[in-house]
Amino acid sequence: MFSKTIAQLSQGLKTGEFSSSEITRSYLDQIAAQDSKYNSFITVTPELAMAQAKAADETIGAGNAHAMTGIPIAHKDIFCTKGVRTSAGSKMLDNFIAPYNATIIEKFNAVQSVSLGKTNMDEFAMGSSNENSYYGAVTNPWGDNRVPGGSSGGSAAAVAAQLAPGSTGTDTGGSIRQPAALTNLTGIKPTYGRVSRFGMIAFASSLDQAGPITKTAEDAAMMLNVMAGFDAKDSTSAQTAVDDYTATLNQPLKGLKIGLPKEFFSADLNPQIAERVQSALKEYQALGAELKEISLPNTALSIPAYYIIAPAEASSNLSRFDGVKFGYRCENPVDLEDMYKRTRGEGFGTEVKRRILVGTYALSEGFYDAYYKKAQQIRRLIQQDFVNALKEVDVIMGPTTPQPAFKIGEKTADPIDMYMEDIYTLSLNLAGLPGMSVPCGQVDDLPVGLQIIGNYFAEQRLLNVAHMFQQATDWHTQTAPGL
């Protein structure tokens, strides 16, 4: 049961091989028995899940089911869920019960998917290792005391540990793709604006984008079919028509032009990961694709630009957490200023405070032009690099991460070293492009991810390219030791 993909579960529900109630109860029991090893969930919702599963079974029995009806999934604890604690991994929101649903939650409810609960994450989505959560670090099922990546580490660990067949995540600088790579999963970050951000607790509003984390590209296509689409409640939501992402999964790749940025294969890349990526590229050649070296000359500037823009937006977004209307409030404040200071000092974690301070400084009088404005200018250069490159090729490929999953605690003392883990993913968020990670091998028995980048709103093509690779290889079928 737990090894089945979403597509296989959907087919089994359709044929009556099992019911949604049976699947859901099995996953809830698995979470209860196994998640103490991984800490992938913050909140589990068994009563809600079983009620949803029962309703889904009635719909399936009536012959009116969607492909995702009755499928249990986990949601990153950054999406507001009515009546359920929504914490964003922070002490600041530990007592917050959302009074409404995020659009993504509403969309899955509309097709009667089943919500197993809310997954652990780096606090306010700030991190690359899921060690910044108020609820403790998440452990990667693939390695002893290894990180699962962040900030969607709980979502990735839950799927990799077979506690859920699929999950939602968010990606501000790589937080879907990087965890997917480190846990041998498939994750896609759609084009900015493709998926509604309404009800998703904001970190950096011009960068955040939601997407699925699954076992296969086919499963990701099925989930994205639910998630994607215009939302009038989100002013940044795109009105571009939504494709059926499952319709062209099996389209042949003959003549596909793949761009290989020379900047992605630098000395910073683990040589064994480079070998696995090169092997994957040979598979694509066997499928009829053509390789071409390209250049994205401003790639090296993506980290400094991102770590000005994202903290600046975070300092603005997180100013709402002051102890006045909702969330954590310090005890016995002497006055309003004391309440603000102690509420934020006690409610925010170290990494969140660091980014708020950096962002506030960059936006302050006398430094705005030197830092924030300059970073936005660099952002435009990075975007133009991709625009130019995608005139010559259909997709761009390279590694998702510079190395496999590292040990918990290995990089916490050096924030800059931690930030370098996002070197290959940040630029896509700055440009607003879609990208995904798929398994392409292992190094020292730890998963390696291949990153695939496409043009704006080309998610259908990306999923096709990923799916055909998975039809020719079996890396995505590998499970963590002991599972």
Residue 228 three-state SS:
strand
Q: How many CB atoms lie within 10 A of CB 389?
A: 18
Distances in Å between the Cα of 80 and the Cα atoms of 74, 86, 118, 441 are 13, 6, 10, 36
Contact in structure between 76 and 121 (CB atoms under 8 Å): yes
Contact in structure between 245 and 68 (CB atoms under 8 Å): no
Q: What backbone torsions phi and psi does residue 70 show, to the nearest 5 degrees?
A: 80, 0
Q: Residue 75 belongs to what H/E stretch?
A: strand 72-76
Q: How many CB atoms lie within 10 A of CB 137?
A: 23
Residue carrying the six token digits 């709402």:
320
Residues marked active site are found at 76, 151, 175
Q: Are strands 166-170 and 210-214 parallel, antiparallel or unpaired?
A: antiparallel
**Full strand arrangement of the beta sheet holding 435-443:** 41-44, 114-119, 72-76, 166-170, 210-214, 186-189, 435-443, 446-453, 395-399, 257-261, 290-294
**Closest C-alpha to 231, from 190, 192, 194, 275:** 194
Q: What backbone torsions phi and psi does residue 399 show, to the nearest 5 degrees?
A: -70, 155
Q: Residue 396 belongs to what H/E stretch?
A: strand 395-399
Contact in structure between 411 and 238 (CB atoms under 8 Å): no
Contact in structure between 411 and 404 (CB atoms under 8 Å): no
Residue carrying the six token digits 């900047």:
263
Instruction: Enumerate the β-bridge partners of residue 447.
Output: 442
